[in-house]
Amino acid sequence: MRHDPFAKKSSLKSILIVVIIVLVTGSGLFLLGKYLEISFINSIGHTVIITGGLWMICRSYVQFLWKRYPWEQSPVKHIVLEVVGISALTMAFGAILYIVERRLRLMEPTELLWLEILVTLLITYLITGIYEMVYFYRQWIMNFSRSVRLEKDSIEAKYETLKTQINPHFLFNSLNSLTGIVDDNPRAVGYIQDLSEFLRYILGSRDKDLVYVRDELKVLNHYYELQKFRFQDNLHMSFNIPEKYHLYTLPPLVLQMLVENCIKHNIISNEKPLKISISVSNDFIVVKNNLQRKTDVVSTGQGLRNISERYRYFTHREGSIKETKNEYIVSMPLLIVDL
């Protein structure tokens, strides 16, 4: 979910101060105009009150549009809804205020009413435009800072990889040699082959930002077979990914990390087998497991935070974590990006 930078800065105290200033200024001008019998000053005070109250409403509406229809995803819809919505709110607010004032006899009929509404509308558009520009600037600062941080993290990760890198040819030649040694043991051969494919995928995807879902599922199958060698029939994994999602994308090894998280934090035994299901719901990939948490493993949540950070580089949609009495469910967005 996209966060409004202004929401973090705005507090109830600051909002109350603005409301008080607007009410005092507007009311002062309104009363001064009535006392001096100068309709122009009266109208200015009236406009200040309307504009101040209306802006508090429009501000919430603009924040809603930023979250629901951000510029980078729906620019046309954003601006159309903004213009139409602010115009409708201004007309409705002005009409309600006019009816209330007439009922309470706070003002007499005036030919300047429509002029006041027009001025109010123009002022509201001006303030909205300034608000949008400041929002863009703050969003640019946030994105720039995030880009710098991600670039720094990427450089550090590549440096760590270089420090610990094993020559791939040596690794795979060694695994092939090991396969020859245990050729009479089918289970051992299968294990080595799965391990070889899993390591090959890790080495091949380390410089990629995104991979296809089909490739993730393929390597996850190898990872599952490696874990089955250890847990036997106490670990069950099921896949329900329609073929139309196979060309969607996601950061590499996300599924493997989520499954590894399930295995790490849950009891797996004959009495309590672990069941993991992987499916898709509303363009989100869902990893679900029956909850039987280990008591001797402390979760820091760092793994899931790392996955979320990788996603933020590509989308503003966020994943979710849901825990019930019997299940633990993690959902991460699928991306539509051509590779």
Q: How confident is the model at residue 262 (pLDDT cuts 50, 70, 90)?
A: very high
Q: Are 224 and 237 in contact (CB under 8 A)?
A: yes
Indicate if 152 and 238 belong to the same structural domain.
no
| CA-wise closest residue to 65 among 53, 56, 74 | 74
Indicate if 11 and 155 belong to the same structural domain.
yes
DSSP 71: T
Kindly state the percentage of the chain with pLDDT values over 70. 68
Residue that finishes a domain, picked among 159, 187, 216:
159
Question: Is residue 127 pLDDT above 60, yes or no?
Answer: yes
Q: What CA–CA distances, in Å, run from 138 to 2, 8, 169?
A: 13, 12, 48
89 alpha-carbon distance from chain centroid = 29
Tokens of 255: 């599924």
Tokens of 254: 């996300």
DSSP 106: -
Indicate if 13 and 109 belong to the same structural domain.
yes
Indicate if 142 and 288 belong to the same structural domain.
no
Has residue 143 been placed in a domain? Answer: yes
Kindly write down the DSSP assignment for every residue of 22-43, as one continuous string: HHHHHHHHHHHHHHHT-HHHHH
DSSP 165: P
Q: Are 252 and 205 in contact (CB under 8 A)?
A: yes
Lowest mean pLDDT among 25-34, 99-108, 117-126, 324-333: 25-34
The domain of 317 spans: 231-333
Indicate the SS3 state at residue 70: coil
Indicate if 152 and 248 belong to the same structural domain.
no
- Total count of domains within the chain: 2
Q: Report the pLDDT value the prediction gives residue 145, as an integer from 0 to 100.
A: 74
Has residue 181 been placed in a domain? Answer: no
Indicate if 136 and 245 belong to the same structural domain.
no
pTM of the model: 0.53
Q: Report the pLDDT value the prediction gives residue 11, as an integer from 0 to 100.
A: 47
Please give the residue that has the higher pLDDT: either 195 or 78.
Answer: 195
Has residue 339 been placed in a domain? Answer: no
55 vs 60: CA distance, rounded Å: 8
Q: How confident is the model at residue 329 (pLDDT cuts 50, 70, 90)?
A: very high
Q: Report the pLDDT value the prediction gives residue 306, as an integer from 0 to 100.
A: 80
182 alpha-carbon distance from chain centroid = 49
Indicate if 108 and 24 belong to the same structural domain.
yes
Has residue 305 been placed in a domain? Answer: yes
Tokens of 308: 């979320």
Please report, for the domain that includes residue 255, its CATH number.
3.30.565.10
pLDDT tens per residue across span 272-287:
999 999 999 989 999 9
HSE-CB of 159 using CA atoms within 13 angstroms? 6
243 vs 59: CA distance, rounded Å: 44
| CA-wise closest residue to 277 among 246, 321, 238 | 238
- Mean pLDDT, residues 248-252 taken together: 92
Residue that finishes a domain, picked among 107, 142, 159:
159
Indicate the SS3 state at residue 286: strand
Q: Is 277 left (phi over 0), alpha (psi -120 to 50) or beta?
A: beta
85 vs 333: CA distance, rounded Å: 30
Indicate if 19 and 155 belong to the same structural domain.
yes
Q: Report the pLDDT value the prediction gives residue 43, as an integer from 0 to 100.
A: 55
Instruction: Return the bridge partners of 330, or none.
Output: 287, 321
Bridge-based pairing of strands 235-240 and 284-290 is unpaired
Please give the residue that has the higher pLDDT: either 78 or 274.
Answer: 274
Q: Report the pLDDT value the prediction gives residue 248, as an integer from 0 to 100.
A: 94
Residue that finishes a domain, picked among 144, 159, 174:
159
Tokens of 132: 């949008």
Q: What amino acid occupies position 257?
A: M
Question: Is residue 18 pLDDT above 80, yes or no?
Answer: no
